[in-house]
Structure 1
Amino acid sequence: MLACMGYIVPEYFKFPGYLAPSIGLKFADVPNGLAALSKVPGVGWFQYVLFCGLCDLFLLHQEPFEEPGKLRTRLFGGDFSNYEYGAFGLPGYLGGKSIADAELRKKKLNAELANGRLAMTAIMAMFFQ
């Protein structure tokens, strides 16, 4: 769903200033959609991949022996941190409690799965439009 928003928003808004001042590339000069992939400098891609790799390596680490969603961070000696029960330190879904009714929980999870599949179909349609 965020991918669809990230594909639509640049049609209406671009950051002011330079993406790469050393080569004079402004944010406004970068085309929308998949054409933007070839315009971003290699160093920019390196920064992005490095940041994602470091986040994956050190933050929000799921131990195999812990319950799902109980995340650790490798930055502070492997202890639980404020990320203990979710990406923002919130237990359950956005600070709420887990759904106790098994049938309702299954229905909500299936609805979320269907929405995710629809979003994947939508972004693929946008790619080939």
Structure 2
Amino acid sequence: ATGTAASLGAGLFIGVGFWLMSPREVPEGTPSQLPLVWLGGLMGFGGSLLDSLLGATLQATHYDEDRKMIAPDKLAFSDETAKGVTRVCGAAILSNEAVNAISVAATTAAGGYVGAWLMP
């Protein structure tokens, strides 16, 4: 919950930064850019949820029985520690880096699409 709240806060921070750096005097009839602040928060929150969903389902998580902790990817797949390491969840389809890249790309694309719709 803390990480998700931090993602929401970070998205709002980016949105507020955009809003604060926007010109104060704009031509009459220009739509408010304030909805983009909320869009930033929504994209931060949504990106965090997508990252968690992909990580829980498509990224394998391993547990090191000897060390009594979640094993880093490097240790989980090495011959030295493979004996005491078991997979506890997720399919071994994506690495952590791939999960991050996909969630960032999807969130960026969605934010760009919705932002363009909000600001015709």
Shorter-chain TM range is under 0.3
TM-score by length of 1: 0.24
Structure of greater relative contact order (alpha carbons < 8 Å, 6+ residues apart) = 2
TM-score by length of 2: 0.25
